[in-house]
Amino acid sequence: MIEVDLAQSSVRALNARLHQPTAQTNQLYWQVLNPNGAHAIAVGLTQPLQIEIKGHAGYYCGGMNAAATVIVDGHAGTGVAENIMSGIVRVRGNASQSAAASGRGGLVVIEGNAGARCGISMKGVTIVVGGSVGHMSAFMGQTGVLVVCGDAGPNLGDSLYEAEIFVAGTVASLGADCTETDMTASDAERVAGLLGRAGIKADAARFRHYGSARRLYNFRVDHTAEY
């Protein structure tokens, strides 16, 4: 394992090193010490690296990830795993707003709570939150899955397209064009599988299923107030 101490090295230098190793060089396992809330740690990775950040991370940690596994052993700031393509980003604490924004693939696990706009404009990412999410989560979600083991704040799934949302707790309110739909046995099985992948224990039978009512796909004058 390679250790990098951010009390002695810059984030820029760390990221430059993380972009160089390959499977052939056997530099796959990294530990980042003393992150102290630094921004943009481990961004834009394209190799199957295993990176553990021992502490709190700032904005956009693990952003644009492809193939790597990034673990934050603490809390994460705004935009963790923003635009993730593949791989895994795990936050063992809480995440601030816009977690996994515009994510196109991969798995994002937040073991604690996530702030507002979790999964905003998601485009294929799978997000599992062990706690609750803030307002406007999954706003304009195009495709992908958001699983919330706790509660959801106001305007969940506002302007939703084809993303799916599963919530075990209470929902403060649904956003425009978001509606509750049937929770089938197949859905419960899928949620159980996602919880298993995320390593989070929860009863899949407690979840409720939300999706798009598809009223806003085309302009209709009688829906003007919802746009």
Give dist(CA 105, CA 227) in Å, integer. 28
Q: Is the pLDDT of residue 224 over 70?
A: no
Q: Is the pLDDT of residue 178 over 80?
A: yes
- With respect to residue 227, please indicate whether it lies within any of the assigned structural domains: no
Cα angle: 120, vertex 102, 205; to 5 degrees: 60
- With respect to residue 181, please indicate whether it lies within any of the assigned structural domains: yes
* β partners of residue 178: 212
Place of tokens 């425009």: 176
- With respect to residue 226, please indicate whether it lies within any of the assigned structural domains: no
- With respect to residue 104, please indicate whether it lies within any of the assigned structural domains: yes
Q: What is the CATH number of the domain that holds 17?
A: 2.160.20.60
Give the residue numbers spanning the domain of 144.
Answer: 2-217
How far from the centroid of its chain's Cα atoms is residue 153's Cα?
16
- With respect to residue 111, please indicate whether it lies within any of the assigned structural domains: yes
Whether the Cβ atoms of residue 105 and residue 124 lie closer than 8 Å to each other: yes
pLDDT band at 216 (very low <50, low <70, confident <90, very high): confident
The confidence score (pLDDT) of residue 227 equals 55
- With respect to residue 222, please indicate whether it lies within any of the assigned structural domains: no
- With respect to residue 204, please indicate whether it lies within any of the assigned structural domains: yes
Average pLDDT, integer, range 192-214: 97
**Domains in the chain, number:** 1
Q: Is 25 exposed, middle or buried (0-12, 13-18, 19+ CB in 10 A)?
A: exposed
pLDDT digits (tens, 9 = 90+) for 146-170: 999 999 999 999 999 999 999 999 9
- With respect to residue 117, please indicate whether it lies within any of the assigned structural domains: yes
- Global pTM reads 0.94
Average pLDDT, integer, range 197-209: 97
DSSP-derived pairing of the beta strands 50-54 and 123-129 = unpaired
